[in-house]
Amino acid sequence: MQPIKVQRKIEPFIVFFVIASTQLGVGMLGFQRIVAASAGYDAWISVVIAGIATNTVMFLIYKMLKEEADLVSIHQQVFGKWLGGMFNLLFVVYFGYALLTVARSYIEVVQVWMFPDLNVFWFTLFFFILVFYVVNSGFRVISGLSFFSIVLPLYLILVFLFILPYTDFRNFLPIYDHSIKEILQATKDLTVITLGYETILVFYPFIKNGQKSEKWAHFGLLFTTFIYLYITFLTFAYFSEEQLKETIWPTLSMLKIVQFPFIERFEYISIVNWYIIIIPNVCIYLWCASRLLKRTVNIQQRKSVVGLLFILLFLIPQLETRYQVDVLNDYIQKIGFAVNYLYIPLLFVLLLIVKKVKNKR
Range of the domain at 317: 6-360
What pLDDT sits at residue 226?
Answer: 94
Residue 275: the pLDDT is 87
Cβ atoms within 10 Å of 152's Cβ, excluding its own: 12
Round to whole Å and give the CA distance between 40 and 178: 8
Please give the Cα distance from 103 to 109 (Å, whole number).
Answer: 10
Distance between CA 276 and CA 109 in Å, rounded? 14
Q: What predicted TM-score, i.e. pTM, was given to this entire model? A: 0.93
> With contact defined as beta carbons under 8 Å apart, do 29 and 274 qualify?
yes
Residue 73: CB partners within 8 Å, gap ≥ 6? 1
pLDDT at 117: 87
DSSP states along 159-178: HGGGGGGG--GGGGPSSS-S
Largest CA distance in the chain: 74
Q: Cis omega (within 30 of 0) on the bond before 165?
A: no
CB 223 within 8 A of CB 57: no
Could you give the CA distance from residue 296 to residue 334 in angstroms, rounded to a whole number? 26
How many residues does the structure list for the chain? 361
207 inside domain: yes
Residue 1, in any domain of the structure: no
Q: What is the CATH number of the domain that holds 277?
A: 1.20.1740.10
pLDDT, residue 258, reads: 78
The domain tally of the chain equals 1
Is 168 contained in some domain?
Answer: yes
Burial class (CB in 10 A: 0-12, 13-18, 19+), 287: buried
Instruction: For the beta carbon of residue 178, count every other beta carbon within 10 angstroms.
Output: 18
Strand partners, 263: 260
In a domain, residue 193? The reply is: yes
> Would you call 60 exposed, middle or buried from its count of C-beta atoms within 10 A (0-12, 13-18, 19+)?
middle
pLDDT tens, N- to C-terminus, the chain (361 residues):
667 788 888 999 999 999 999 998 888 888 888 888 888 888 899 999 999 999 999 999 999 988 768 899 999 998 888 999 999 999 999 999 999 999 999 999 999 888 888 899 999 999 999 999 999 988 999 999 999 999 988 888 888 888 888 888 888 877 888 888 989 999 998 988 899 999 999 999 999 888 899 999 999 999 999 999 999 999 999 988 888 888 888 888 888 887 777 677 777 888 888 888 899 999 999 999 999 999 998 888 899 999 999 999 999 999 888 888 889 989 999 999 999 999 999 999 999 998 888 777 6
Does any domain span residue 29?
A: yes
Residue 331 contacts residue 130 (beta carbons within 8 Å): no
Q: Is residue 173 part of a domain?
A: yes
- pLDDT of 198: 93
- Is there a contact between 99 and 285 (Cβ–Cβ < 8 Å)? yes
Kindly tell me the burial class for residue 193, based on how many C-beta atoms sit within 10 Å of its own C-beta (0-12, 13-18, 19 or more).
buried
